[in-house]
Structure 1
């Protein structure tokens, strides 16, 4: 009997963590306990540990959502090419002839974990590991658009909408309206919103619950690609994001 207790505790913790990570969060204690099949008392103890270790986050109003450590684990999974993500990104680059990236959520921003450069002489000045503003990049907006509304609002409350260029969204109502259109279209674009002369298009990588765990993006230079041409990349970018989702 004694030997089975640690395993039972691990199972409880995993069930609670899975309930916390559902896409419709953040969640109240009672909902987490019900969905995980763990008693409220045990759920509360597990949540206290998860929050302390950074795998869950409390919103101060009795609800719990994903913590930064959990998001970092998702990023590490995406960075590991055991599932063949590089092959999908290389195929997209060869099809469109532009720079291709994979970005993942990282706290209140996104981070590139993969990059495939184009073959032509012009290179996009982006770095793997560099933070990306969610409100001003195609990848960031693709992630924001598919977060639960309350979670996306909380991110914007914390970060604000700082102007990166004259084209950056600094009006929150306008951005929220665009995020709704992104959800409907399945892709996001930015045309010199984060950096002058750079444009991007991105589609979200979703897990089985519809939670955004990454975004596939294609970037180019505005003197090479018009806004109409950029939008024309959408079917290929969406297909690549769906391919990555299936491989995960």
Structure 2
């Protein structure tokens, strides 16, 4: 497949890394080239460079290309030096322990919401711990609704339109139109907490609140608490509201100046 808008080599290399990050068992060269619309000769050169630098590997000639642990090590090093591991992770761990559910901190990055850290508070019974990608789907997640509730409606519409509405892979109550979406968003804006039931994944529920930059109304992230709907009903969410908002304040006060957050 020919490139319609050729990318520079660094852009292509990053695209390969991002693609392989979604395929832990790797992909063959041909599939990488086809999915990214890069000529196979160029794909081979880029993979050779990434292999030489230690970012990808092949178990044998002709095998699939896979990411190595080097990126994970770099990420861990960054989280440590950025203060995430010792300043933010304890806040998320504490909320997970208090609620006994899955807690996720997502951060705002150029209008996108990216999952950064999480902690599982459930110690037995039904566990909710999905294998999700880094980018939050705004239209059908509690984190997404919490973030959208902090924006002007026009800006929120633009961000959702850019992602599009998913028709598959979401829960039975997932919004399919802007009217349906803003019923959720308006409620989150009114109460300060987004709540969803069978929206992102059938059988699961979640709540989330925004993290504001200290002293402002600018959202720099969100925190969610999620679990099986059989446990996470409205009554139980009511018990978690103060804990969730306290965690958001702690992150704001502790971490607003950390490099992991966009600076004003």
TM-score tier (shorter): 0.5 to 0.7
Q: Relative to 1, partners in 2 of residues 1:90 and 1:179: Cα closer, same or farther, differing over 3 Å?
A: same
Task: Identify the residue that residue 233 of structure 1 maps to in structure 2.
Answer: 240
Q: Relative to 1, partners in 2 of residues 1:89 and 1:175: Cα closer, same or farther, differing over 3 Å?
A: same
Q: Relative to 1, partners in 2 of residues 1:77 and 1:139: Cα closer, same or farther, differing over 3 Å?
A: farther
Q: Relative to 1, partners in 2 of residues 1:219 and 1:79: Cα closer, same or farther, differing over 3 Å?
A: farther
Supply the distance in 2 between the matched residues of 1:156 and 1:240 (Cα, whole angstroms): 26
1:131 is paired with a residue of what secondary structure?
A: coil
- Alignment equivalent of 1:132, drawn from 132, 136, 147: 136
Task: Identify the residue that residue 91 of structure 1 maps to in structure 2.
Answer: 94
Q: Relative to 1, partners in 2 of residues 1:76 and 1:118: Cα closer, same or farther, differing over 3 Å?
A: closer
Asked if 1:103 corresponds to 2:106, the answer is: yes
- Alignment equivalent of 1:161, drawn from 165, 174, 183: 165
* Ranges of 4+ aligned residues in structure 1 off by more than 4 Å: 75-79, 106-109
Task: Identify the residue that residue 231 of structure 2 maps to in structure 1.
Answer: 224
- Alignment equivalent of 2:145, drawn from 141, 145, 149: 141
2:232 is paired with a residue of what secondary structure?
A: coil
Q: Normalized against structure 1, the TM-score is what?
A: 0.62
Supply the distance in 2 between the matched residues of 1:108 and 1:84 (Cα, whole angstroms): 24
1:238 is paired with a residue of what secondary structure?
A: helix
Which segment drifts farther, 150-159 or 233-242? Answer: 150-159
2:114 is paired with a residue of what secondary structure?
A: strand
Long gaps (5+) in structure 2: 1-77, 257-264
Asked if 1:204 corresponds to 2:172, the answer is: no
What is the CA-CA distance between 1:212 and the residue it aligns to? Answer: 1.2
Residues 165-201 of structure 1 deviation map (CA, whole Å, 9 limit, x = unaligned):
2210113123223322211211101111011122111
Q: Relative to 1, partners in 2 of residues 1:76 and 1:152: Cα closer, same or farther, differing over 3 Å?
A: farther
What is the CA-CA distance between 1:143 and the residue it aligns to? Answer: 0.6
- The CA RMSD over aligned residues, in Å, is 2.6
Supply the distance in 2 between the matched residues of 1:171 and 1:245 (Cα, whole angstroms): 32
What is the CA-CA distance between 1:101 and the residue it aligns to? Answer: 1.0
Q: Normalized against structure 2, the TM-score is what?
A: 0.59
Asked if 1:150 corresponds to 2:157, the answer is: no
Asked if 1:194 corresponds to 2:200, the answer is: yes
Supply the distance in 1 between the matched residues of 2:98 and 2:158 (Cα, whole angstroms): 37
Supply the distance in 2 between the matched residues of 1:78 and 1:169 (Cα, whole angstroms): 39
Residues 6-59 of structure 1 deviation map (CA, whole Å, 9 limit, x = unaligned):
xxxxxxxxxxxxxxxxxxxxxxxxxxxxxxxxxxxxxxxxxxxxxxxxxxxxxx
Q: Relative to 1, partners in 2 of residues 1:241 and 1:181: Cα closer, same or farther, differing over 3 Å?
A: same
Which segment drifts farther, 125-134 or 75-84? Answer: 75-84
